[in-house]
């Protein structure tokens, strides 16, 4: 049986990647624990009167309803509960704060259910909220797909390619540790105008990365997570919290969670700037070439000698996928990481990519198998368009590594503030 820790917390089946304790600490409640429960533990656990207020996540948002003596009208209408508050008589009252979080997420992405032909992926607890709010907010049509238990399954997807204008993912598909997966190909939808994904880890799922590449407005789950937690905390303690806290906490969490990724030509100074960034920020630096050596059990020249560039690139791609799952680190990539398009998604899914530039004549060749006898001008001509395609911004390594690191850190802070300034603007308009 799961042991009692603190009066407040989160219940769910698998909570290893949850950041809810951090959010609630920022909202003024550091006494917040994660409680992983098996289904048969739920009734006995909730009977412990030392528990005063809980959030509820997968897969218990519907299962807790029979264990509540009363429901808030919105939770009752939706048929899904994500917040429990102990009443004076010892019973539980259920609330749904996901609805508030969902509306905040939609506004942040410039999305609306009003008049939309909505396709919802998944039919669990959070999907019940999405369906109810989509109807309340005036969607034109609403279709729900799942493996079973709905009128349509994923096999029926082609029926909705022509008319769907808004897709909302309410499944765990694409979430760490299984990032990079998506249930749909957005290029199939002729009239698509918006995409939302309730997943917050990674920051940009494969679904959202495709939306970004296609220029389709999108919204990710961190806004929803922070906003629903804010309203949950209001229920926990019976006091109002300024909505401005959502952007304040969201910006801090995004900055702390996202990676700084350095790309650029071999010998452009990525590792040296990475060292300076590590000293400046206190973040851990991960050198992907060093990780490749560990993974292969041999040096990079040995990998090239035994299997050629193709063998190296395969190990590199595997390493990129593994190391991109880290949060809040500095990732220093090899110069050729951009030569494989599949490396972009894992790097970008939870990171901001900085292209380090330096004149070709100043590039170091030492210890770089492809650079030793290559025409670096020819290599640069081929790779520069790829660096620009991958990168969010460019940083010239033209002075000192410390100055380049400071420029990156200033940009990183400005970027996260700007992302959440858009939320604040949407909130006020």
Q: Which residues are catalytic?
A: 61
**298 burial via Cβ count (<10 Å: 0-12, 13-18, 19+):** middle
Classify the C-alpha dihedral 76-81-86-89 as positive or negative: positive
- How far is C-alpha 313 from the chain's CA centre? 26
CB 182 within 8 A of CB 205: yes
First to last CA, the chain: 48
- Partner residues linked to 118 by β-bridges: 142, 166
- The region, left, alpha or beta by phi > 0 then psi within -120 to 50, assigned to residue 174 is left
DSSP letter at 3 equals: P
- Partner residues linked to 195 by β-bridges: 167, 218
DSSP letter at 152 equals: B
CB 167 within 8 A of CB 184: yes
Contacts for 229 with CB less than 8 Å, ≥ 6 apart? 20, 23, 24, 27, 55, 97, 101
Instruction: Supply 56's token pair.
Output: 């509820």
Indicate the helix (H) or strand (E) that contains 296: helix 288-296
């Amino acid at each position: 049986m799961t042991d009692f820790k603190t009066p407040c917390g989160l219940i769910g089946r698998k909570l290893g990647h949850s950041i809810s304790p951090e959010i609630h600490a920022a909202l003024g409640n550091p006494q917040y624990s994660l409680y992983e429960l098996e289904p048969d533990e739920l009734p006995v656990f909730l009977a412990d009167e030392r528990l005063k207020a809980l959030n509820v996540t997968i897969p218990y948002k519907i299962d807790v309803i029979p264990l509540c003596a009363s429901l808030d009208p919105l939770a009752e209408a939706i048929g899904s509960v994500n917040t429990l508050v102990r009443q004076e008589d010892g019973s539980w009252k259920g609330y749904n704060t996901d609805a508030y979080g969902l509306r905040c997420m939609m506004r942040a992405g410039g999305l609306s259910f009003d008049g939309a032909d909505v396709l919802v992926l998944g039919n669990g607890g959070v999907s019940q909220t999405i369906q109810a709010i989509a109807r309340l907010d005036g969607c034109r049509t609403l279709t729900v797909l799942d493996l079973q238990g709905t009128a349509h399954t994923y096999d029926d997807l082609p029926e909705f390619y022509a008319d769907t204008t808004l897709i909302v993912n309410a499944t765990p598909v694409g979430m760490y540790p299984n990032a990079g997966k998506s249930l749909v190909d957005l290029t199939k939808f002729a009239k698509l105008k918006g995409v939302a994904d309730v997943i917050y880890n990674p920051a940009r799922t494969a679904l959202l990365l495709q939306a970004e590449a296609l220029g389709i407005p999108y919204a990710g789950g961190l806004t929803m997570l922070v906003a629903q937690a804010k309203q949950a905390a209001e229920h926990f303690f019976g006091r109002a919290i300024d909505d401005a806290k959502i952007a304040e906490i969201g910006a801090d969490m995004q900055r702390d969670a996202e990676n700084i990724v350095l790309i650029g030509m071999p010998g452009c100074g990525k590792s040296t700037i990475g060292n300076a960034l590590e000293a400046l920020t206190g973040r851990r630096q991960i050198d992907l070439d060093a990780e490749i050596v560990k993974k292969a059990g041999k040096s990079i020249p040995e990998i090239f000698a035994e299997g050629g560039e193709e063998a190296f690139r395969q190990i590199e791609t595997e390493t990129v996928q593994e190391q991109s799952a880290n949060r809040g680190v500095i990732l220093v990539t090899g110069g050729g990481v951009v030569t494989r398009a599949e490396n972009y998604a894992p790097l970008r899914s939870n990171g901001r990519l900085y292209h380090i530039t330096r004149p070709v004549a100043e590039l170091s060749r030492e210890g770089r198998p492809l650079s030793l006898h290559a025409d670096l001008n020819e290599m640069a001509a081929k790779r520069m368009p790829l660096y620009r395609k991958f990168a969010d911004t460019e940083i010239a390594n033209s002075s000192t590594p410390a100055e380049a690191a400071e420029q990156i850190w200033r940009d990183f802070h400005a970027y996260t503030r700007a992302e959440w300034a858009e939320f604040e603007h949407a909130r006020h308009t």
